[in-house]
A and B are shown apart, each in its own frame.
Chain A
């Protein structure tokens, strides 16, 4: 089974508001997948549906090929919530002992190693831990079970830069073991750093999806300078996502056909033709703008 998570036309309605408005995505196995979106775009709603914490209004969804209500499937996944909360009255030792029996794939060697690496105080109550410490406990509880899929909701939220980087490092280590990582984030930079594949959402719909490297190869910004810039319409054709005219410069975001666009520029007597790579932030913002323009 190739996809670890699959949704088709997933919708979720709260009253009159559609938190998810037809979300279709496929999360490939064995990769680090970034689920990128603004606050309120539908990321947490989607994750809650995957974990059967809330029920979908319509559409299809499968987790490791099974329906989301399946208890057996939850034995094969890990989950770290945004606020990383656990049981405040339990000690670190107790919460580990509580979690361990649920997962047949739990490895005690990992537990011992991480306890040492993370320097966790076994006898301290969870309520007395800082968020960084709680995150480490949450990570340990997830990493020891050697799950096929790890779902994380805003993993670096509330963490200082050092802890945030440690978090990403842990995820990379898990990925090296073959675990698929699915993490939601509103921070483009961290997605760009570790994700192999991204799924970007806005207003409950997917606006951008694909392997990051593929997107990096595909999109280009072409800047053409003219003495007398032609109308933007002259450049609207297949492969052009956005045309902006600023003074004498026509800036084009292209998802292909770059050679043709550059040739067009020369036909219209462009003084200068520049081609630049496009970062994820620029791409994401443009797709958000398009989504709002279309609705």
Chain B
């Protein structure tokens, strides 16, 4: 599992970790039963606060992607919720791919496309 962070981007680090672990699960780099690094270990490796890793793992557990066993580590979960999430994301990525292809053919640059999505997602940002 390779995690690359951008601490200065303004995006919370824990969300970046969540996203990248989620992505690893999607593409099969992490499969059900795999053990994630201990909170302390991952924090040391990424050189981020342990609280950040705790938040990330808590969020992943909340999304049903991992199971946290107190004192015994974090494991990628075998659950329908997880699988359906992966399936959903796979279907969604097809939609996104098609949309991006269409927008690009209209002559928009990648940055413009990104900003359009950001603007559309404002409501969700405010909700958080």
Give chain A's interface residues, CB within 8 Å of chain B: 30-32, 165, 168-169, 172-173, 175-176, 188-189, 192-196, 212-213, 216-217, 219-220, 258-259, 262, 272-282
Shortest CB distance A259–B (Å): 5
Q: Which of B45-53, B66-74, B75-83, B94-102 contacts A (4 or more CB under 8 A)?
A: B45-53
- Chain B interfacial residues counted at CB < 8 A: 27
Are B119 and A274 neighbours in the complex by a CB distance under 8 Å? yes
Sort A-B residue pairs by CB-CB distance and give the 9 closest, nearest first. Answer: A277-B10, A176-B40, A274-B115, A176-B50, A213-B12, A193-B7, A192-B7, A279-B10, A32-B49
Residues on the A chain within 8 Å of B57, using CB: none
How would you classify the secondary structure of chain A's contact residues: helix, strand, loop or mixed? helix
B4 within 8 A of A: no
Q: Which residues of B contact A32 (CB under 8 A)?
A: 49, 51
Minimum CB–CB distance from B41 to chain A (whole Å) comes to 9
Number of A-B contacts (CB under 8 A): 86
B53 to chain A: closest residue by CB: A176
Binding site for A on B (CB under 8 A): 7-14, 39-40, 43-44, 47-52, 55, 115, 118-119, 122-123, 125-126, 128
Measured between alpha carbons, how far is A212 from B123 in the docked complex, in Å?
21
**Quick one: which of A168, A195, A274, A278 has the most chain B CB within 10 A?**
A274
Chain B residues closer than 8 Å to A193, beta-carbon distance: 7, 13, 47-48
